[in-house]
Amino acid sequence: MDRKRLAAEKAVGYVRDGMMVGLGTGSTAYWAIRELGRRVKEGLSIRAIATSKQSEAHARRLGIPIVSFSDFESIDITIDGADEIDDRLQVIKGGGGALLREKIVASASNELIIIVDDEKPVNQLGAFPLPVEVVPFGSELTLRRLQALGCRPVLRQQEDAPFMTDNGNYTVDCHFGQIGNPVELHAEINAIVGVVDNGLFLNMASRVIIGRADGTVTERLRQA
């Protein structure tokens, strides 16, 4: 079975009747939404909020009830993927282009379950380019200020035009190579005027579920 699917199906096992569920975005979250849809058809009663238009459309096709933030106060569980995750469960996200909505949903969640295959855990973050969502106005200046932090910033493209997030913003992929101090870098990036947010999800993941090539699944919990 696909490693991402293994992790996703294990994560969905934590969802119970009556829960509010955050739906992630990307190739791994796709499997979680699909499994939730299957369980909803079998009688599972949940409500959900999606982190992208793509995930919302997928969920609606599967019969998962979608609500807005005006309909609830907190989210019980969010299930989402990651691009990198270290031993302290610090995460880089945003490869799928939905980092801001993913972070908003994660911040409102009582539990954030990160689902990945066994290629995503790393000793140190940074090999995967760090996505940063920026407003289009003045983006050339914003890129230069990101570069001053020690990265090679690349404006993400889609069909020969800048990739646009669901929020109407650009995504800059920042090639650091290594991120020695994620907490400091997170603050430095978000202090740049024109930056909306960045893909460092720090101290947010409560559990990571890893699907492995041999068909097994392992879990790690964040230490208090």
Q: Is the pLDDT of residue 73 over 70?
A: yes
What are the structural domains, with CATH classification, of the chain?
3-121+202-213 (3.40.50.1360), 130-196 (3.30.70.260)
pLDDT at 222: 87
The active-site residue, picked from 35, 56, 84, 102, is 102
**pLDDT per residue as tens digits for the range 157-207:** 999 999 999 999 999 999 999 999 999 999 999 999 999 999 999 999 999
Q: Please, what is the average pLDDT of the chain? A: 96
Is 9 catalytic? The answer is: no
Cα–Cα distance, 179 to 193 (Å, whole number): 21
Within a 10 A sphere around the Cβ of 121, how many other Cβ atoms? 17
Within a 10 A sphere around the Cβ of 138, how many other Cβ atoms? 12
For residue 6, give every residue at least 6 positions away whose Cβ sits within 8 Å of its Cβ, in sequence order, or none.
211, 212, 215, 217
Cα–Cα distance, 41 to 64 (Å, whole number): 9
**pLDDT per residue as tens digits for the range 137-165:** 999 999 999 999 999 999 999 999 999 99
pTM above 0.85, yes or no: yes
Quick one: pLDDT band at residue 224, thresholds 50, 70, 90?
Answer: low
